Structure 1
Amino acid sequence: MTAGPAAPLLLSVEDDPQVRASIVTWLEDSGYRVVEAADGPAGLAAFRAHAPDLVLLDMGLPGLPGMEVLRAMAAESPRTPVVVVSANAAITDAIGAFKAGAWDYVTKPVLNFDVLEQTIRNCLERRALREEVRRVQERHRTLLQSVPVIVFTLGPGADLEFINGTCQAITGYSPQQALAEPGWLLAHTHPDDRAALAQALEAARAGPAGALHTDFRFTHRQGYTLHLRARGLERGADAPGAVAGVIADLTESVFLEKMLVQREKLNTLGAVTAELAHEIRNPLTSLGGFARRLAEAHPDLKEAGIILEQALRLEHLLERITAYAAPVPVRMQRASLTALLTFCLDRLSPALARRRLALRLRLDPALPDVHTDPDLLTETLAAVLSRLAEGMGAQAALTVSTRALAGHARLDLDLDDPALAEAAEAAASGERLLMPFEEGGATLGPALAHRNVKSLGGHLALTPRPRGLTVTVSLPLADAQRQAP
């Protein structure tokens, strides 16, 4: 047989033994469990030891006045009902007791215990209702703080009035930091998106509730870029000019979409490259042979030398195309990207020191291992870092950051160089750097670096920026690779 819920536990604090005995007897006959005390100190001790569901408290207590006992109980446990049972029927005493924290007031002698019982039931029901309201509010607060989106409210200005705890999980800033910084949301929005977001917020203030609908980039506290989407919520009628909304993190989906697009582009490029190399090789061999014969037969013929020079140039280009299309042998295993990257940076440190270039490291200490070929990856990373160092000016800075994202380890190499051209000029070279037709210089070229990373199951992307460039390398995590079907 399953035991039912325990009967409420009541505490009777009464100095008159006969009155206390009658109250205790009646309460026990009514099915309550009872603890009793004869003075103020004993009452407080029993209150703290037993945590009763309700207290019946006399005001005229020895040792410690009843009003002091009442204030102490109300301060320590305001959710515990305290019913004052007093011989003083003055209204001023009742008002004082209510101000001190009493839930109800009953005068002595208690002539009708039914009235006392109803008072007890009413107080216990009020306590249960308050507890239920508190639990609902706590669940709501917990849900609001833990939903996987940022919930925020902006006041009539640009300052936050509320933001939930998910703020820290997504942006790296705690709610306290975000609320304390004036204009926090706009201040950390990407400069290229700031005006558009400010305009969207202003339109949301003037428009109907829920009118906010915009995507923007935001700088994480660790310095990397997030892709966020803001949507409006219903706002209260008492908050004119305020904007309430939610912000979702789209970074993973944007990242995966870009990776998929680049892989499709490079797959197509690889197929075209192989076909192109095959189609060029036969006529190029004939052209080169005839150019050599012509140059030997007519050494003074300037045109023959030009034809031979261009034929040799085409042969060199064909070698690069063939190298790009050739499969790369890899031996995949579990490895630490942080360890490999640290090794490459150690090798690069003398060159950086000579050039007095700033190096900033934002490496995730908890980054999981990747599934890769350590030797090939080390060679590729060293080549990319060396190539960046070769092109950096005296005032340049290189920020190296890592993090886990969407089953991948992501490495960002952010180059800030005042000597670089504006974005329009940089963008013209950004796409070309991934093609196999660009010269590689003294080190492994970007096209072959991209080919190597692709062979490791990842991708490499170059994103030109005003006065800068970002190289992103993504590699599959070892655990994600093991779980894949």
Structure 2
Amino acid sequence: MVVSTNVLTMEDDPVVRETIAAYLTDEGYSVTQAESGLQGLALIKEKNIDAILLDWRLPDISGGEVLSRLASVNPAIPVIVVSGTDEVEEVIIALQRGAWDYLRKPLMNMDVLIEAIERNLTRAQLMKEAALEGEHLKELVRSRTEELERANALLRREAKERKEDAVALTESEARFRQLVETVREVFFVRNAETREFVYVSPAATELFGLTPDQFALNSELLVDLLHPEDRPDALSRLPQIYSSSSPVSFEYRFVVGKQQVVKWVGFRIFPVTDAQGEVYRYVGVAEDITERRYAHDALCASLREKDILFKEVHHRVKNNLQLVSSLLSLQAQRISNLEDKERFLDSQRRIQSMTLVHEELYRTDDLSCIDFSYYVEQLARRIEQAFLSLVPVELVVDLEKIHLSVDTAVPCGLILNELISNVYKHAFIGRDRGRLYLFSELREGSIVLKVIDDGVGFPEDFDIAESNSLGMQVVHALVEQLSASLKITSCSGTEFELTFTDSSMCLLPT
């Protein structure tokens, strides 16, 4: 660990921020603190920051927005997301947006934090060195290729006059070999017309287990080494690769040596044109990327396992809630007092509204969001079944396709449960039929839900905040929890209009 390493912590919780800062300082790090995303981005421009500890949920902008902006400021800084959530979707989003690592709060063992910082600082240094080496190699290849083209053109023009052409070409090739044979990656040159290898660097022996002379004698040896599962795709791509006038990159597995070792090899191929603009050679670089691919595959496997685990959790939560709902139903059957019995049934319907959310999450592939339009209709149909013995009600739904996060869908479902149940119980007293209309839409970044009936309506001076009804009190509390607005209009019936936003940024029309 270098004493001058400066770590920036973006954390809105002062206790967590100061705790981490104190620990890192004791370990010899320099620590810069930011309590918001915008403040942290400003500090990155002002100070020399070596690594960043990023809270995923900040008070001004999200951790994802910080990663997106950081990509245009300094993408080479290691960013370790330290979050209180372990939802798979957020882990995936963080890694896709440029996070280098992901740690789960609370950090029970601070040594894990130090290991993550050191590991990613080492990775950043290696990437920096690899980038410099790669850019240097590309420049050398381009520069040397141009030099060779100029030399070859000169030799062709002077071929009739000078017998020393062969000597000059030999010297040129010797200088070329001195350049590329010191590079760890395999460098090769291939004739565009015959597909024969004009040159293969000695590094091919270590990577492919074959000498450059073997490649020169048989240009198809590389195809023979392809993994059987990758060979069909590679062969189908060859015409495209060798007809492209722009650089091409691809990755395939190769079975190498007597031990039949499987290696992932990444290729970058650059076409070289002559004075007439025709491609006559392909210059390429091949490198061993086995460790990087295996790390990627391991991460994907881990994410799939977590996805299965979360589905099982939602399934068990749904089953437990259904059990509670059944117990309430059985208890209600034993109660003779109609008012007390209705209280049990109201509780049962509230639990069923939450059960539906977990049922939807188990059914869908996206564990962070549910199809709210489908959920609302299913909830309304279940409530309709519960009140079949009362006045017949025509249920009409007009719901825009909306996806909501779980944190928003649960309180919304409870609000709709209370409003719809209230319509069935009170709106059509003394009537022989009624009509209930459910509507939803996206409006200027907000979600608008409406519950409209043509029943008796509320009194003109009705105030939901002052209502003695438990259901209306639940609605009022949940509206405040969502930071939503609820507008009640009573004219030829009642219209409830709920307007809110999804703070978890899961508002996605489909």
TM-score (structure 2 length as normaliser):
0.31
Which structure has the bigger radius of gyration? 1
